[in-house]
Chains A and B, each alone.
Chain A
Amino acid sequence: MKYAVIDISSSSISLTAADDKGGEPFFRARESLTLLHYMDGHALSQRGIEKLIEAVLAMQEKCRSVGVDMLYLISTAALRAVLNSEEVHEEIFSATGIPLNFIDGETEAYCDYVANRAYGEAEGGAVLLDVGGASTEICDLNMEDREGLCCLDFGILTLRKKFVEKIQPGEEEAENIRKFLKKRFKKAGLPKKGVYDTVVLAGATNLALYAVYAEYTKTHTVGERVMDLKKFRKLTEHLLSGAGRAKLILDVAPDKLYAVGLAAVVAEALCKRFGAEKIVVSNKGVKEGYLELVRSGSFRGAYYDFSQEAGAKGRSVPQAAVSRPSAPTGKEQTVEAKKEGATPAADAAAQPAKRRGRPAKTKEEGAAPAAQPAANAAAQPAKRRGRPAKAKAESATPAADAAAQPAKRRGRPPKAKAPEQNGDGEENV
């Protein structure tokens, strides 16, 4: 079974596809699409909706050509925040048949965590930073599951609107942003120096930041994307006031023109707060995490089933036969299954899920099913990895403090509907 996730962000639409064997993604694609230029006030213009549909259709075709079976379309703050998000959803579905899953900030953070938890194995503690359009996710990668997640309700677009007059932030604007970040990090209870040695940057904007860094420092990347802290600081200075900063970004990451400078300021501020000595840039983020969660059966998002397309039987699959789940895949059966609230992925989840990644902790109850991570976390106190935390009166980390209190929901209120179905209650195609 091949899965794919398409992510609509504020500046691009990207695709990752992987099979159910748990390995690395076998296909990726990306197309720039700067939604900012297609806004009419706080609503996405008709032209913007057309461009989105065009891009989604192109990605759908790519999925078809590489034999994807199940396609998930997700969007985070980029579309969540637009005034006419319902209209956008309906038009995309009407044109492509693909239902759109809006995911909130906390889910975004969790997907980031799932995709990058392997970095938590490193010595010295690691924290992940993903700066999106309207939200920022910070994840303690040493913590188990959702415990170390922190979702802040500002992102690149928010910072830009609040602090930046033109396209690139200037030095004075950057100073104001740093003060703002300091307050917000403090309010979120993020720890200071001594807890994390490594900051892992995730997300398309941070990947673009790395591309700019590599171009600026003439770094030839082999293996892990690592940024030298001193050189990174110099780059940040250059992005705030250097003569060739716009050209540098346009040469390497033109669709992130509005974002790279701000992303650098945020990353630098976080590194400074944590006293981190190492910056690693991951090429895995929300999409990869979501992909892992759907193929393990932990998530049950609405999806597009290519096997239901006309002529699907004759569809040529470029390699050896792909294994299919034992759950029935006939149209009526799929509809029937949807009405009961199950999906082929959920069928797999009904059985103990095969755990991937790090070995499960030894527990008296046995290995925890991947479908119930939150329950397991609540059942046992989190075991901390990495450098011991400094002694505090209340708890190990402020992130755990946040987790101990009822999570404050951000973004749009959840819809009251089954996640397997789209807003109209129609079955997935």
Chain B
Amino acid sequence: MKVGMLTSGGDCAGLNAVMRAIALNLYTNVKNVEIVGFRDGYAGLIRGEAVPMRRADFEGMLRVGGTVLGTTRTPFKLMSVPEADGSTRLAKMVAAYRRLGLDCLFTLGGAGTHRTAALLCAEGCNVIGLPKTIDNDIYGTDVTFGFHTAVDVAADALERVRTTSESHRRTMLVEVMGNKAGWLTLYAGIAGGADVILLPEIPFNLDKVCAAVTQGYAAGKRCIVIAVGEGAALDSEAPFKRRERVFVRTERGETTVTQHLAEVIQERTGAETRATVLGYIQRGGEPSAYDRVLCTRLGSYAAQLCRAGRFGVTVAVSGNRITFNALPDIAGKYKFVDPNGEIVRAAEETGVCFGR
């Protein structure tokens, strides 16, 4: 058996742990297995450059952050666009898959990666997807690997910000990654004890946020910590398309709402207000213990699917069981936070303000 693997899109902790689990499962249970890796995501497959990966290459990878294969973003919409040589990226990937004689390709990535995986599947390649993202927004799975590690990082940052904010009696806005879905902001906000949590799914009202800040200080708090999702938007911005929102913010010299919100809060409440963008530290570092277990389960299951000959699927978590979904059913779909769901309600009923 000859299999290939690649990691595509934004990186996260746990990618190496998943590849390790796939490889060790196959090396342990299949005779004469050959594993190759493609560097830099789909770009490597497009180039057709396969890197042999022996069993020893996977030892010691369990706690290593990032991805040893490297990754890039290769937009789905460009996959079928003819290039200068007349061929398309999709055609090149399919040709490489066939030329290398692969029996299966494991694709570790987010929603966009899964769309391309579904394309490859549609062209006859045996593909098994694995759900990778710190945003936890892949449709059809309760949790994605990398998410809980990012939650730990962001929650820790919120706690650290709290101590300095308390010392200075400041209002601190902490911008958390998550452009489309607010899972990371929600979980990190709750875990980090944020007073206000602003999600892309719940357009927020400025007056309500300012009121929460004022009331918090009136109740005796020494600081207010606000977790702001990257994709959070004012209720006045919500009717506009994303492109229009970006334009208006760019005119202000901003890409997200965080800085603008900080200025308005300071102006209206009189509280000294600062903003911090966590940025890429949320992607980095070694995977948490939870993620190491999850990655091992997901990777091992993916290998089982391969051994069983079940392709065109992506591994998923459902009620603490590891299972699978059909790629065409989930490709391109996202999982959003339910604004009226149990988690948001639990936080709201314990006094967290969501700006509504």
Whole-angstrom CA separation of A47 from B329 in the bound complex: 14
Contact A167 B88 (CB under 8 A): no
Q: How far is the CA of A48 from the CA of B102 in the complex (A)?
A: 27
Residue in B123, B327, B329 whose beta carbon sits within 8 Å of that of A246 in the complex = B123
Complex CA gap A311/B91 in Å reads 57
Query: B residues within 8 A CB of A166?
Result: 123-124
B118 touches A250 (CB 8 A): yes
By the criterion of a CB under 8 Å from any partner CB, how many residues of chain A are at the interface? 24
Q: Are B90 and A246 in contact (CB under 8 A)?
A: yes
Do B80 and A257 touch (CB < 8 A)? no
Verify A247–B80 contact, CB threshold 8 A.
Answer: yes
Asked, given contacts A243-B88, A257-B328, whether A47 binds B323 with beta carbons under 8 Å apart, the answer is yes
CA distance A243 to B82 in the complex (A): 8
Nearest-neighbor residue (CB-CB) of A246 within chain B: B122
The chain A residue with its CB closest to the CB of B326 is: A37
Within 8 A of B (CB), among A210-252: 243-244, 246-250
Report chain B residues within 8 Å CB of A255.
328-329
Report chain A residues within 8 Å CB of B324. Answer: 47
Contacts of B170 in A (CB 8 A): none
Which residues on the A side are within 8 Å of B313 (C-beta)?
A: 37
B326–A34 contact, CB under 8 A?
A: yes
Q: Is B332 an interface residue (CB 8 A)?
A: yes
Contact A167 B123 (CB under 8 A): yes
Q: How far is the CB of B20 from chain A (nearest CB, A)?
A: 25
Could you tell me the distance between the alpha carbons of A109 and B115 in the complex, rounded to whole angstroms? Answer: 35
Task: Chain B residues near A250: list those with CB within 8 A.
Answer: 115, 118-119, 122, 328, 331-332
Q: Report the minimum CB–CB distance from B318 to chain A (whole Å).
A: 8
Whether, in the assembled complex, A32 has its beta carbon less than 8 Å from a beta carbon of chain B, the answer is: yes
Quick one: which of A37, A38, A165, A167 contacts B122, CB cutoff 8 A?
A: A167
Output the least CB separation between A57 and chain B (Å). 13
A257 touches B323 (CB 8 A): no
Contact with A38, one of B88, B121, B326 (Cβ below 8 angstroms)? B326
**A33 interface hit (Cβ, 8 Å):** yes
Q: How far is the CA of A38 from the CA of B327 in the complex (A)?
A: 11
A9 within 8 A of B: no
Cβ–Cβ contact A247 & B329, under 8 A? no
Binary CB contact string for chain B from 311 to 336 against chain A (1 if under 8 A, 0 otherwise): 01100001000011111110110000
Chain B 71-96 interface residues, beta-carbon cutoff 8 Å to A: 76-77, 79-82, 88, 90-91
Determine if B326 and A247 form an interchain contact, defined as CB atoms under 8 angstroms apart. no
Asked whether A423 is an interface residue with its Cβ less than 8 Å from the other chain, the reply is no
Q: A167-B122, A246-B119, A249-B122 are in contact. Are A254 and B90 (CB under 8 A)?
A: no
Question: Once the chains are docked, how many angstroms separate the CA of A214 from the CA of B111?
Answer: 25
A244 near B80: Cβ-Cβ < 8 Å: yes
Question: Do residues A257 and B326 form an inter-chain contact, with CB atoms below 8 A?
Answer: no
Cβ distance A206 to chain B, nearest Cβ, rounded Å:
18
Q: Given that A243-B80, A246-B80, A257-B328 are contacting pairs, would A37 and B118 also be in contact in the complex, using a CB cutoff of 8 Å? A: no
Do the beta carbons of A34 and B331 come within 8 Å of each other? no
A positions within 8 Å CB-CB of B: 32-34, 36-38, 47, 50-51, 165-168, 243-244, 246-250, 254-255, 257-258
A-B contact sample (14 more), CB < 8 A, given A37-B327, A166-B123: A33-B329, A34-B329, A166-B124, A167-B122, A167-B123, A168-B123, A244-B81, A244-B88, A246-B119, A247-B76, A247-B77, A247-B79, A254-B328, A257-B118
Interface residues of B (CB under 8 A from A): 76-77, 79-82, 88, 90-91, 115, 118-119, 121-124, 310, 312-313, 318, 323-329, 331-332
A-B contact pairs, 7 of them (CB 8 A): A34-B326, A37-B312, A37-B326, A51-B325, A243-B80, A250-B118, A250-B119
